Amino acid sequence: MKFGTDGIRGVANTQLTPELAMAVGRAAARVLGGPTIAVGRDPRRSGPMLEAAFVAGACSEGASVELLGVVPTPAVAFRSQEASIAAAMISASHNPFADNGIKLFAPGGLKLSDEVQAAVEAELELIGAGRSADAVSGADVGEVRTHDVAPAYVAHVEDSVAEGALSGLKVVLDCGNGAASALAGPLFIALGATVDVINSSPDGQNINSGGGSTDTAGLQRRVVETGADIGFAFDGDADRMMAVDHTGRLIDGDQLLALAANDLRSRGRLPGDTVVVTVMTNLGFRLGMQRLGINVVDTAVGDRFVLEALDAGGFALGGEQSGHLIFRDRATTGDGLLSAAVTAEIVVRAGAPLAGLVDSLMTRLPQVLRNVRIAAPMPDVAARLAGELDAAAESLGDDGRVLVRPSGTEPVVRVMVEATDEAVAHEWCDRLVSAVEAL
């Protein structure tokens, strides 16, 4: 199994087996180095099993392990940055509970570069072929200890906004029965908000089920029913967030990014007047930023690519439509709790509803996205559909956009079409889906 855009991911115990998790632990210890690796997980049932296997692999190579327990991915990255140690997160993010995954962080909280990732994969191949390094024994075997990172991580998020910044704000939080379940409510109460928390009782199987950032219907109803000012939904490992305005309308990552970019620029905190996004970002965002005089830099899909572009350009803000927002002066990865706190503070500071603030900055163009399940990887799918893609681009002109790409986390090809006319977008999406299915 190879690394995708966000680590290794698959069905736990059949695709992502304990044997593979142990091998990844061994490879991580060899390649990432350092005396200690921090390990966190989300609350899905297979987490302890895969955690144990990963830890055994790392310790067998002489690396000690800090067990962080059930915490958000950004808390793991925070510990990696704070202590300058490598780290791993056992999570499948927004996927169903039967899936699981392993995300690796280099010392300093950074996701792996292509070169380091390739080195880890090379070690995995050697381990799979039975080639082992000299075994350690005695005091050279890694030890396992626990570390409670939650208090320091929550304090870090609190410090990212003004004290009492959310006083008077009525907030609904949907934790998706994931890693944020124990932390989100207390955090927002400490910031001064009146808080209603839903989907915060994980049982190992209900993660991302009927709630969270990929299923916001319940949150949208709850916000309207309770008369809340705003709602936030987190995915299973809480590195992404979606918002809901007071009318129950979903506000996605593109819109949240526009809000943050405008706020930072207005306060002189947006270096280069630039924001970094991925190729999936809505054309309406790009047009809105153009009107505001804010530059847009594109990357491939994946928050690690966004982070690389942020660091390369010395920029402060980037993100994805899916709700990964990176505030580079505060974090090394997408952070749903941090993004929610910052968004809520912007709303309070502006003294206006989220709906009006977002609508003044951008208008989302109709965007149709379809996932086509495939039996085998199709890394060259765009090249194989070059004729169809050229025809679509010519037809849509400057008022539309088309993108066909293989997913880095699921066995699907994603087909996306944007157009000013939704019917036209659907028509071209259907044609391209059919073309993919015919390959």
Q: Looking at residue 379, what is its pLDDT? A: 86
Q: What is the DSSP string of 195-254?
A: EEEES----SS-TTSS-STT--HHHHHHHHHHT-SEEEEE-TTSS-EEEE-TTS-EE-HH
Q: pLDDT at residue 399 above 90?
A: no
Length, in residues, of the chain: 439
Which pTM was predicted? Answer: 0.90
Residue 79 pLDDT grade (very low, low, confident, very high; cuts 50, 70, 90): very high
User: What are the two backbone dihedrals, phi and then psi, of residue 430, each rounded to the nearest 5 degrees?
Assistant: -60, -45
Q: Which of 195, 193, 196 is nearest to 166 (CA)?
A: 193
For residue 64, what pLDDT is reported? 97
Catalogue all structural domains in the chain, each as residue range(s) with its CATH number.
8-151 (3.40.120.10), 166-250 (3.40.120.10), 252-359 (3.40.120.10), 367-437 (3.30.310.50)
Give pLDDT, residue 413: 92
How confident is the model over 355-369, as a mean pLDDT? Answer: 93
Report the pLDDT value the prediction gives residue 39, as an integer from 0 to 100: 98
- Of 264 and 4, the structure prediction assigns the larger pLDDT to 264
Residues 79/52, Cβ–Cβ less than 8 Å: no
pLDDT of residue 316: 97
* pLDDT score of 96: 94
**How high is the pLDDT of residue 1?**
63
Confidence of residue 404 (pLDDT cuts 50, 70, 90): very high
**Predicted confidence (pLDDT) at residue 2 exceeds the cutoff of 80:** no
Distance between first and last Cα of the chain: 24
Q: Give the pLDDT mean for 260-279.
A: 97
For residue 319, which of 86, 14, 309, 424 has the smallest C-alpha distance? 309
Would you state the pLDDT for residue 345? 98
Interatomic CA distance for residues 87 and 111, integer angstroms: 9
354: region left, alpha or beta (phi > 0 left; psi from -120 to 50 alpha): alpha
The two tokens of residue 393 are 């681009």
pLDDT at 439: 85
Report whether pLDDT(110) > 70: yes
Burial 321-348 (b: 16+ CB within 10 A, else e): bbbbbbbbebbbbbbbbbbbbbbbbbbb
Average pLDDT of the segment spanning 367-372 = 91
Question: Would you state the pLDDT for residue 270?
Answer: 98
What pLDDT does 56 receive? 97
**What integer is the mean pLDDT of 99-122?**
94
Say how many C-beta atoms besides its own lie within 10 A of residue 422's C-beta: 14
Lay out the sheet containing 325-327: strands in order across: 295-299, 274-278, 317-319, 325-327
pLDDT-derived band of residue 7, with 50, 70 and 90 as boundaries? Answer: confident
* Residue among 181, 351, 342 at smallest CA distance from 264: 342
Residue 168 buriedness (CB in 10 A; 0-12 / 13-18 / 19+): exposed
Phi first, then psi, for residue 396 (nearest 5°) are -80, -30
Strands (E), 348-422: 367-373, 401-406, 412-418
Contact yes or no for 312/305 (Cβ under 8 A): no
Residue bearing the bigger pLDDT, 49 or 408: 49
Active site residues: 93
Residue 400 or residue 219, greater confidence = 219
Res 411: pLDDT: 85
Spatial contact of 55 and 64, defined as CB atoms under 8 Å apart: no
Whole-number Å distance between alpha carbons of 376 and 402: 23
